[in-house]
Structure 1
Amino acid sequence: MINSLYFRLNLTAILVLIIFLSATGVVLDNAFLESSRLSLRERMLGQVYQLLSASMVSETGQLIMPLPIHLPYPQLALPDSGLYAFVGSNGNSQLLWRSPSLRNRRTPPPFTLQVGEKHWSDVHMEDGKDYYLLGFGFQRTLKTGIHSFNFYLMAELAPLHRQVQLYRQQLWGGLASAAIILLATQIWLLHWGLKPLRKVGLELSAIETGERNQINGRYPREVKQLTDNINSLLDQERARQSRYRNALADLAHSLKTPLAVLLGATDQPEALPDTVYEQSTRMMRIVERQLQRAGAANGSATLPPVAVRPVVERITVSLAKVYRNKNVSVTNQIPTELRIRCDEADLIEILGNLLDNAFKWCNARIDIQGGKDGHRLMIGLHDDGPGIGVEYIEHILQRGGRADESTPGHGIGLSVAADIVEAYQGRLRIATSPLGGAAVILEFG
């Protein structure tokens, strides 16, 4: 399962979400706790100030506190109310006053305070409860002298703890709900986002079972690049297999003539060794050439560029001798600087087959043109023969296809040329020539 991209993304999202929400919860919890304690401090300090304003000091330095009904906060008059106050003097542990709410409770030991000093502390009392204790140093200056007092206010922390507990329940409950919603959303988004990849997997399975030839679905831009590359690989593999099948067919066809010569040589025993050697060498070359052609264009980008015009000139000179009775006029308009990256033997075979057809079918004229159109290299062969009907074009580009069965030939020359051109990512198309005959156009990217 760890090899599943869907599982990895979900696991990563869950871990990140847990860490983020946990950190958020801790920060918010601490912030609320500190805010609550700060609020309690400010409230207690205000209560101390009101208690101070309600107190009086006699001319003799005696502290006079108001009656319970006149205390600033009713809780101070109610026993066990959770809010308690007492007053002591500096350097003396004896208490000068206790609020009625303390009743028989023991008070925490007083501590020394400077005038105006405020001191907070957490205390745990014998009743098992936690309290927050505020001490405030205070003095009055009278004719009889300076009189210092320490006012203490003690508040029970249980209400604060309950408030914090309620907040924590709401906080962590809310974060847990948010986590569930976010995780559900994340899982759905990942399921939806990875749907194109699952669809690609289904299409690849269909290709493996032979139900499809390529990936045809519509995909997002990021996935489409992958599917286009896969389709390109599939096309190349099919083209390679087709080239191997065609190479076998071409090999069988090419070996027929040497084998026929060998069979005929049995009538001349004295020339048989030379004939066997010559034809065996020829057959070896045929086999090597067909094997090379089967893997044509697999590395065309690394091949040296070949000048087209000299190849055309050599072929036309040879064919002019073969068809010398027709007195064909050949115009070679290929620029001298025109070059193509391919195997020279492949170029000779392409142009040889096409020019042989042109010489065979023309009346008296052949024009050979070439040049570059942007990044594309183009070579055109035009003749003034009868031309090729549109209805025959697809047929003659197939192996063995011929427009005129009465003319000698095997009908594979044009298809061989088209296969080699296609192997170099090129295109062979047939059109009507301005000369009136056929125009065979080669396009290489």
Structure 2
Amino acid sequence: MKAGSTSLRLRLLAGTLIWVAATVGIAGWMLQSMFEQHLSHQFDNELSMHLAQLAANLETDTGGNPVLARPLSDPRLERPYSGLYWQVERMTSDSRGVIILRSRSLWDAQLKVPGDRLADGERHTHRVTGPDGEALRMLEQAMRPAEHPEQAWRLIVAVDERLLSEPVDRFRTLLIGTLTLLATGLMSAAGFQVVAGLRPLKRLRNELSRLRDGRRATLGQDHPSEIQPVVDELNAVLTRKADFVARARHQAGNLAHAVKTPLAVMANAAAEEQGPFAELVRTQVVSARQQIDRHLALARVAAAAQDKGLRCQVAPVVEGLIRVMQRIHPERRFGFAPSDEDRELLFRGEAQDLQEMLGNLLDNAGKWARAEIRVAICADAEHVFLDIADDGPGIPAGQRDLLLQRGQRGDERITGSGLGLAIVDELAGLYQGRLELQSAPSGGLHVRLTLPRQH
């Protein structure tokens, strides 16, 4: 992945997970609010019911004092400090009440009531502290008995707020657990959906990778309907490109063969003449032939490099070239002693291309070596390495890259066109290999040719 790029999978997952988390969170908050409002409404209704029951059960005795005709129905009012209380006060002119009656649940305590004024029938709600230090929600109402309208009573009912908060807390805990499980399931489903939805793109990427490596010529035809039009367009482009390249190679070959005939005529004519002009023609004809052969070789290798099914055994090619070089350079010794394992190494390409690359390198070493050239092969999982070291004068480190450029030569006194190392470098590059120039232990040049390995 390139720096600064963003994964489509991560963006889809992040967007989906954020949306799921936000939706579940908002739904949880709304459910809790609705439950709390519903419970609070029921809580207030319960207070109103107890207050109405208290007012209905109050009567006056002969002295005009309030008495409870019947006990209230809730048994908690009989249990000390149960959390449900009632109290009746006679209101005075200064809004201070005198406690007349109270529930058994208050035991020997009393409710502390704010000194607010109440009109007849008016109700007020307060939050006060209970006899056991608990927070109470209190509902009070003023009333006057029909028998003694000059008296004003304050009727008070209070309930412990924990009876409201504890169910809310239990519901919140249960809701959080349930919604967490739901969110986890939704996120897992979203993640699976994203991964499954993007799997065709991963498959397409693998096909493109095999296409790039030359293991297939076109993309498959069994992709999802959303992707298949893109695949069809790519296949059309690839087919058109392949046709264009094939025509270009064919035309290049025809042109090369057409040029060779006039060159042969010029070479024969120059061979019959003597003098500087004839020598110039012969030299230029040789150079033109080398250029044509070079470009034909590059065109052939460019096509062969795309075929990943090609293979050739390396050791026999090296041994065959060494026998040829021993005849060309009889004064040099060529050493090559591969192991049994090295003899099985395969180059992923055509034997003719390997011969051309190694032939140039061995011929170059034969020209510059004093007495000995050593050749070795080895490999790793993906590459074959061919090492050629001579005991010649070597090449200074600053000139090695220059010698890989076409037309550059290490010494003008040595015959050649300066195309050998450049050709090898270009051919190796077409096979996604490389050519490296190093110093040999003997002081000469150590050339390492890296090529793709076939298994």
TM-score if structure 2 supplies the norm length? Answer: 0.54
Structure 1 match to 2:204 = 200
How many Å separate the matches in 1 of 2:41 and 2:129?
Answer: 19
Q: Which deviates further from its counterpart, 90-99 or 218-227?
A: 90-99
Structure 1 match to 2:248 = 244
Structure 1 match to 2:134 = 129
Structure 2 match to 1:28 = 31
Asked if the contact 2:81–2:131 (Cα under 8 Å) also holds between the matched residues in 1, the reply is no
Structure 2 match to 1:120 = 125
Q: Provide Cα deviations, 1:153-210, integer angstroms capped at 9, x if missing partner.
A: 0111222222112111211111011111111111111121111111101111111222
How many Å separate the matches in 2 of 1:145 and 1:151?
Answer: 15
- In the alignment, which of 151, 158, 169 is matched to residue 154 of structure 1? 158
**Structure 1 residue identity aligned to 2:136:** Y
Structure 2 match to 1:100 = 104
Pairs within 5 Å for 1:190-339: 190-255=194-259
Q: Which deviates further from its counterpart, 56-65 or 73-82?
A: 56-65
For structure 1, the residue ranges without an aligned partner over 5 or more in a row are 268-445
How many Å separate the matches in 2 of 1:98 and 1:255?
Answer: 125
Structure 2 match to 1:77 = 78
Work out the number of aligned pairs and report it. Answer: 273
**Structure 1 residue identity aligned to 2:35:** F
Asked if the contact 1:215–1:231 (Cα under 8 Å) also holds between the matched residues in 2, the reply is yes
How many Å separate the matches in 2 of 1:232 and 1:126?
Answer: 88
Q: Secondary structure at the match of 1:135?
A: strand
Structure 2 match to 1:180 = 184
How many Å separate the matches in 2 of 1:39 and 1:208?
Answer: 72
Asked if the contact 1:207–1:213 (Cα under 8 Å) also holds between the matched residues in 2, the reply is yes
Structure 2 match to 1:4 = 7
Q: Secondary structure at the match of 2:145?
A: strand
Q: 1:72 to 1:125 in 2, by over 3 A?
A: closer
Q: Provide Cα deviations, 1:230-268, integer angstroms capped at 9, x if missing partner.
A: 22232233223223212212323554676688789999x
How many Å separate the matches in 2 of 1:128 and 1:225?
Answer: 75
Asked if the contact 1:54–1:72 (Cα under 8 Å) also holds between the matched residues in 2, the reply is no
How many Å separate the matches in 2 of 1:89 and 1:233?
Answer: 99
Q: Secondary structure at the match of 2:191?
A: helix
Q: By how many angstroms is 1:115 displaced? A: 2.1
How many Å separate the matches in 1 of 2:224 and 2:153?
Answer: 80
Q: 1:162 to 1:77 in 2, by over 3 A?
A: same
TM-score if structure 1 supplies the norm length? Answer: 0.55
User: Is residue 45 from structure 1 mapped to residue 48 from structure 2 by the alignment?
Assistant: yes
Q: 1:23 to 1:124 in 2, by over 3 A?
A: farther
Asked if the contact 2:90–2:98 (Cα under 8 Å) also holds between the matched residues in 1, the reply is yes
How many Å separate the matches in 2 of 1:198 and 1:167?
Answer: 45
**Structure 1 residue identity aligned to 2:86:** A
Q: 1:249 to 1:76 in 2, by over 3 A?
A: same
**Structure 2 residue identity aligned to 1:3:** T
Asked if the contact 2:109–2:131 (Cα under 8 Å) also holds between the matched residues in 1, the reply is no
How many Å separate the matches in 2 of 1:147 and 1:64?
Answer: 14
Q: By how many angstroms is 1:145 displaced? A: 3.6
Could you say what the CA RMSD is over the residues aligned between the two structures, in angstroms? 3.3
**Structure 2 residue identity aligned to 1:73:** D
Q: Secondary structure at the match of 1:116?
A: coil
User: Is residue 63 from structure 1 mapped to residue 58 from structure 2 by the alignment?
Assistant: no
**Structure 1 residue identity aligned to 2:59:** M
**Structure 1 residue identity aligned to 2:182:** A
Q: Provide Cα deviations, 1:41-93, integer angstroms capped at 9, x if missing partner.
A: 111111111111110134654222236xx333322222112110011234233
How many Å separate the matches in 2 of 1:126 and 1:240?
Answer: 98
**Structure 2 residue identity aligned to 1:14:** L
How many Å separate the matches in 1 of 2:131 and 2:79?
Answer: 20
Asked if the contact 1:51–1:72 (Cα under 8 Å) also holds between the matched residues in 2, the reply is no
Structure 2 match to 1:424 = none
**Structure 1 residue identity aligned to 2:247:** R
Q: Secondary structure at the match of 2:142?
A: strand
**Structure 2 residue identity aligned to 1:182:** L
Q: By how many angstroms is 1:138 displaced? A: 1.9
How many Å separate the matches in 2 of 1:158 and 1:92?
Answer: 28
For structure 2, the residue ranges without an aligned partner over 5 or more in a row are 273-455
Q: Provide Cα deviations, 1:279-301, integer angstroms capped at 9, x if missing partner.
A: xxxxxxxxxxxxxxxxxxxxxxx
How many Å separate the matches in 2 of 1:140 and 1:128?
Answer: 33
Q: Provide Cα deviations, 1:109-162, integer angstroms capped at 9, x if missing partner.
A: 2432222222223333463322111112222344x5443222110111222222
Q: By how many angstroms is 1:95 displaced? A: 1.8
**Structure 2 residue identity aligned to 1:55:** L
Asked if the contact 2:113–2:128 (Cα under 8 Å) also holds between the matched residues in 1, the reply is no
How many Å separate the matches in 1 of 2:243 and 2:139?
Answer: 91
Q: By how many angstroms is 1:229 displaced? A: 2.2
Structure 2 match to 1:13 = 16
Structure 2 match to 1:89 = 90
- Percent of pairs with identical residues: 25
Q: Secondary structure at the match of 2:136?
A: strand
Pairs within 5 Å for 1:290-439: none
How many Å separate the matches in 1 of 2:267 and 2:79?
Answer: 133
